[in-house]
């Protein structure tokens, strides 16, 4: 099968890239391992300040409908095993799909965060709890403890309590080589500052304002109530960590330690729960971009490909969009996908002039400005590093080309 564009990943980024290219007249195939298009969008359900409810399942449905109406072929239940230049995509059923252009939009995955007892049935990654609750409408437990403080865990804790679960609290992980700074109350308070505009609780907003000042943050931590503060139907416990998870054949309880402001444990007690959701953070999925120039930028969530202002990687005609370039919210992923699809349509001669590409690039910037969720607190710095490295790569390439033409 040969088409103008092959898109890998039918999340918000991949679908948006497909829609932009196909609506301009390009032939497009989208491949995704899941039975339905939508990626992580399918499980998203949260209220955004000013714009109301974000219902990911409905947004994916309308994106997929728009794609199909524009003639996009969506191949579901197919995993991509390999991507080779010019661009041949090898599928798990032995078939292959070729495109003059390819877009890798494989999204992000969850970092595992091991805790003693985490292999018991009833313990799951926070994303699994989100999918069960919002997409399959199955409550993962009646009494739930959440481990890890980040936008995803806060959002899912709220979703679980809206679904009728008793969320006993959101806790830090205990100090370990895996938890790293996630077990540090100070780092978590600073992190919450990035979300302080969204904070529904006055004390959190206050904490957010203090968070840029280390001395005041120290004071806030000293006085942070050890009983936690109420947050969207549960309690945020910056001064408690989960030491272990226990039970005979499935989760029955967690051992919770009161911690000092450096994360060192004191007294422990046991709390009955039947479900534990662990959030260890997200990282961009890079298996298919391995031949591109890749760099590790922790501020973006891990290893990412370098790419041009139009989303093209160091490999000609290979574009990227969405969380594969760094961990951000769905609206930004959609805007990046639209930019990649528009840039490809322009390169194919389906769009005349540069206006549409410039507008799509501007839409990415404004999606970033208005984004309600910030997954990585230093994302702006991460983007700047990536942009500088791209410019450096371009300079090196043009110097090599000059040297070759002199030789
Ligand atoms: C568990 C989880 C929960 C999240 N919750 C929220 C939230 O509530 N709100 C929010 O704004 N953001 C959330 N995010 C961030 C989220 O990733 C972005 O919002 C957005 O979905 C990213 O879009 P994307 O298209 O880049 O990737 P994704 O939505 O992740 O889509 C990527 C798609 O590519 C497919 N894929 C990957 N590799 C292959 C392969 N080799 N072959 C075939 N298909 C493949 C995947 O199955 C997936 O369908 C969440 C992320 C995760 C991991």
More confident residue, 233 or 253: 253
Q: Is ligand 1 within 6 A of the CB of residue 34?
A: yes
Selected residue with higher pLDDT from 221 and 360: 360
User: What integer pLDDT is reported at residue 205 of this predicted model?
Assistant: 53
Identify the residue with better confidence: 189 or 312: 312
Position 214 pLDDT exceeds 80: no
Nearest CA to ligand 1 atom 18: 330
Q: Measuring from atom 30 of ligand 1, which residue has the nearest CA?
A: 107
Assess whether pLDDT exceeds 60 at residue 199. Answer: no
- The residue nearest atom 38 of ligand 1, judged by CA position, is 106
Token pair, residue 18, equals 């497909």
373, pLDDT greater than 70: yes
DSSP symbol at 78: -
The predicted structure's pLDDT at residue 6? 98
Domain at 112-278: CATH architecture: 3-Layer(bba) Sandwich (3.50)
pLDDT tens per residue, range 143-197: 999 999 988 898 899 889 999 999 999 999 999 999 999 999 988 887 776 665 5
The pLDDT of residue 393 is: 94
Q: 61 CA to middle of ligand 1, Å?
A: 15
The C-alpha atoms of residue 310 and residue 301 are separated, in whole angstroms, by 21
Across the range 360-366, mean pLDDT stands at: 97
pLDDT at 405: 74
CA distances from 59 to 30, 44, 94, 295, 314 (A): 17, 10, 32, 32, 32
Determine how β-strand 28-31 pairs with β-strand 80-84: unpaired
Contact in structure between 261 and 218 (CB atoms under 8 Å): yes
Residue 209 has pLDDT above 60, yes or no: no
pLDDT at 206 (0 to 100): 52
Alpha-carbon distance of 81 to 96, in angstroms, equals 10
pLDDT for residue 216 = 64
Output the CA–CA distances (angstroms, integers) from residue 345 to 24, 29, 152, in the order listed: 6, 14, 34
Q: Mean pLDDT across the stretch 262-282? A: 95
pLDDT for res 269: 96
Listing DSSP states for 303-355 in one string gives: EEE-B-TTSBBSSTTEEE-GGGGS---HHHHHHHHHHHHHHHHHHTTSS-SSH
Is pLDDT above 70 for 345? yes
What pLDDT digit, counting tens, does each position of 378-401 carry? 899 999 999 999 999 999 988 887
CA distance 132 to 344: 36
Tens digits of per-residue pLDDT, 66-94? 999 999 999 999 999 999 998 999 999 99
Element (H, E) at 255: strand 253-259
Atom number in ligand 1 closest to CA 34: 47
Q: What percent of the chain has pLDDT over 90?
A: 72
Does ligand 1 come within 6 angstroms of the Cβ of 56? no
Query: Average of pLDDT values for 4-21?
Result: 98
Mutate to test the pocket of ligand 1, among 39, 60, 290 (most ligand atoms within 8 A of CB): 39
Give 407 or 367, the one with higher predicted confidence.
Answer: 367
Q: With left for phi above 0 and alpha for psi between -120 and 50, is residue 42 left, alpha or beta?
A: alpha
Q: Poorest-confidence range of 93-97, 107-111, 214-218, 316-320?
A: 214-218
Pocket test for ligand 1, best of 43, 111, 330, 335 (most atoms within 8 A of CB): 330
Ligand 1 pocket, mutate which of 79, 106, 140 (most atoms under 8 A from CB): 106
Average pLDDT over residues 258-263: 91
What per-residue confidence (pLDDT) applies to 201? 47
Closest by Cα among 142, 184, 362, 402 to 273: 142
How high is the pLDDT of residue 386?
97
Position 208 confidence tier, pLDDT thresholds 50, 70, 90: low
Q: Residue 202 above 50 pLDDT?
A: no
What's the pLDDT at 155?
A: 87
Identify the H or E element spanning 104: strand 96-104
Work out the average pLDDT over 206-212: 55
Whether 131 is in the pocket of ligand 1, judged by its Cβ within 6 Å, is no
CATH homologous superfamily for the domain 2-109+282-403: FAD/NAD(P)-binding domain (3.50.50.60)
Give the per-residue pLDDT at 194: 61
Task: Enumerate the CATH 3.50.50.60 domain ranges in the chain, comma separated.
Answer: 2-109+282-403, 112-278
Q: Does the beta carbon of 167 lie inside 6 Å of ligand 1? A: no
User: Structure tokens of 118?
Assistant: 């985490």
The mean pLDDT of the chain is 90
Q: What is the reported pLDDT for 197?
A: 52
């Amino acid at each position: 099968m040969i088409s103008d564009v092959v898109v890998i990943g039918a999340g918000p980024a991949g679908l948006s890239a497909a829609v932009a290219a196909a609506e301009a007249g390009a032939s497009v195939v989208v491949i995704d391992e899941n039975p339905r298009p939508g990626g992580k969008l399918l499980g998203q359900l949260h209220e955004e300040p000013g714009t109301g409810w974000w219902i990911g399942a409905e947004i994916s449905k309308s994106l997929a409908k728009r794609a199909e109406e524009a003639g996009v072929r969506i191949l579901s239940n197919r995993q991509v095993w390999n991507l080779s230049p010019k661009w041949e995509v090898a599928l798990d059923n032995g078939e292959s799909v070729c495109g003059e252009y390819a877009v890798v939009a494989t999204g992000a995955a969850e970092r595992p965060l091991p805790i003693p007892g985490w292999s018991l049935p009833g313990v799951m990654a926070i994303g699994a709890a989100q999918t069960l609750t919002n997409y399959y409408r199955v409550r993962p437990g009646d009494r739930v403890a959440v481990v890890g403080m980040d936008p995803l865990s806060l959002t899912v804790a709220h979703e679980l309590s809206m679904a009728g679960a008793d969320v006993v609290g959101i806790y830090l992980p205990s100090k370990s080589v895996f938890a790293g700074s996630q077990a540090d109350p100070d780092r978590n308070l600073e992190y919450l500052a990035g979300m302080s505009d969204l904070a529904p609780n006055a004390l959190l907003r206050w904490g957010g304002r203090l968070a840029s000042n280390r001395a005041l943050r120290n004071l806030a931590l000293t006085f942070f109530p050890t009983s936690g503060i109420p947050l969207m139907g549960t309690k945020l416990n910056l001064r408690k960590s989960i030491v272990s998870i226990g039970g005979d054949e499935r989760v029955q309880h967690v051992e919770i330690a009161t911690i000092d402001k450096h994360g060192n444990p004191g007294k422990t007690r046991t709390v009955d729960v039947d479900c534990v959701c662990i959030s260890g953070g997200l990282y961009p999925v890079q298996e298919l971009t391995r031949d591109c120039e890749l760099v590790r930028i922790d501020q973006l969530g891990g290893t990412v490909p370098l790419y041009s202002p139009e989303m093209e990687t160091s490999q000609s005609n290979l574009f990227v969009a969405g969380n594969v370039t760094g961990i951000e919210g769905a609206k930004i992923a959609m805007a990046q996908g639209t930019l990649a699809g528009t840039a490809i349509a322009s390169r194919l001669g389906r769009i005349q002039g540069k206006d549409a590409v410039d507008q799509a690039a501007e839409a990415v910037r404004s999606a970033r400005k208005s984004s309600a969720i910030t997954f990585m607190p230093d994302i702006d710095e991460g983007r700047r590093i990536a942009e500088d490295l791209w410019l450096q790569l371009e300079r090196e390439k043009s110097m090599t080309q000059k040297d070759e033409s002199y030789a």
